[in-house]
Amino acid sequence: MPNSDQDENKICRKECLRCAHCCQPYFSLYVSDQDEEQWRLEGRREILERLLWERKNIVWQDDRPVNLSTGEVERRCHWVQKNPDGTTACSIHNHKPKICSDYSPGSSELCLQYRRVREYIIGIDLHGTLLAPGEKFDEELVAPIARELDRLKGKALLWLCTGNDLSFVDLKVPAPVREMMDGYVLETGCSVSRDKRTEQVLSNAEEIRTIKGLEIFLRKMNFPELNYFARRLTTISMFTDQPRQFYYKVKLIVDKTEYRDRVAVTYSSVAVDLLPGGYDKFRGLSAVGDGRKTIGIADSANDLNLLLRSDYAFSPANFARELEPALLREGRKIAELSHLDSLEQNTLAVSCQSETRGALEILRFLAKHL
C-alpha cells in the first residue's frame, strides 16, 4: 500500500478479518535470499529448518501443494496459529518474510475483501507502452514503475496485455515489475496467465487450426519486408521494420483468401499480428476482470478495442494517431493528461512523454486519482 496515503492504509488495516486466507501453505516459494540472511543474522534456526524441510517435502501436484510425507494437500502456512476467539495470528509475526509484511488486505484473490477493495482492473500494453523501441525497459525506470504499481495494488488488479507469449514477458519485463502484476493477457487476448507461470488458451481448436493454415500460406509468399515469423500457441506475428505499411499489404492479401472472415489482421509498433477473429486485448482483460471497471493503457493499432471499450483509456505520447478517427467516431475524445484532474470516461488521455516514461506518468496519475 502507498505510505503516502494514510487514510487508505487505515482502511485496509481495519478491514483485515484475520481469517488466514492469505497465509499460503507453500511458505518456501515466497522466501527471498534477504529473508534467509536476516534469519541467519537473528539466529532463527527454527524458521530456517522449516524452510529447508518445506523445500524438500512440499511439491506441486495438479496445481496444489502436496506434503510428500503425508500425501495431503497443505492448506495454510505452518506458522499460523489459532486464537481462542476464532481469529488467527502469525507465530513469527516479527520475523515473517517481507512478502508477508508488505501484504495489504484485499490485494489478492485469496483475501475475502478482494472483490470489494479492488474495483478496477488495469490492462497495460508492452510494446510502445512499457517497452521502448528495441524491446528495452530503461533500468532507471524499473524502480519508479514498480513503486507506482505498488501504490495501485490496493485499488486495482494489474494485468500486462501483450501480443506476445509468456516466455517473452519473462524475458523482457524486469522482475520487480512482473512481481507487481496479477497476471497477463497474452497473444492479443487469445490466452491468459492467471498465475504468471502457465498459459490458458481462450481460443478453440478450430480457430487454432485456422491460424496454422494461414501461417503456412503466408510463409510461401516470401515477403521482402519480413524480418521473421513468431509462432505462438494460437497466433502468429510477422515482425518488420515498417509494421503499418506492411499491415496494409498483408491485409489485402488475406482479404482475398478463404481466411478473410475467420481471422483478424492488426499491427503493433513492431509487427503485423494475425489471430482468430473476435479476439483482442480488451476481450482478454474482460475475461479476467470479473465485472470490474476497466482501465486501458496502450498505444498501437492492436490495442484499439482496449482504448475504445475500456471505461477509462490512456496512451503515452507515441499513441498511433491513425486510430483517432475510430475513437472520435465512437465518441471518445482525445485530451492531454496534464489538463485532467480526475478520471474521465469517453476520453483518451495522452501523456506528455513517450513509451516507458509516458506509462510512468499515467501510473502516477492513476495512483493519485483512483
3-state secondary structure of 264: strand
348 is written with which cell numbers? 483518451
| Distance separating the N- and C-terminal Cα atoms of the chain | 13
Report all structural domains of the chain as residue ranges with CATH numbers, in order of start. 18-103 (no CATH), 115-201+279-369 (3.40.50.1000), 205-276 (3.90.1070)
Q: Please tell me the distance from the alpha carbon of residue 61 to that of residue 80, in angstroms, as a whole number.
A: 23
Query: Which ranges of 160-296 does DSSP label H, i.e. alpha helix?
Result: 166-172, 175-180, 205-219, 243-254, 281-289
What is the amino acid identity at position 141? L
Q: Please tell me the distance from the alpha carbon of residue 236 to that of residue 252, in angstroms, as a whole number.
A: 17
Residue 159's nearest CA partner among 4, 24, 289 is 289
Q: What is the DSSP string of 137-181?
A: --HHHHHHHHHHHHHHTTTEEEEEE-SS-HHHHHHHS-HHHHHH-
Question: One digit per residue, pLDDT tens: the chain, 370 residues?
Answer: 333 343 333 333 446 778 887 887 677 878 999 999 999 999 999 999 999 998 888 887 766 788 888 888 877 788 988 888 878 889 999 999 988 888 877 667 677 666 556 789 999 999 999 999 999 999 999 999 999 999 998 889 999 999 999 999 999 999 999 999 999 999 999 999 998 989 999 999 999 999 999 999 999 999 999 999 988 889 999 999 999 999 999 999 999 999 999 999 999 888 999 999 999 999 999 999 988 999 999 999 999 999 999 999 999 999 999 999 999 999 999 999 999 999 999 999 999 999 999 999 999 999 999 9
Q: Please tell me the distance from the alpha carbon of residue 100 to that of residue 295, in angstroms, as a whole number.
A: 28
Residue 105's nearest CA partner among 175, 23, 217, 207 is 23
Round the CA-based radius of gyration of the chain to a whole number and report it. Answer: 23
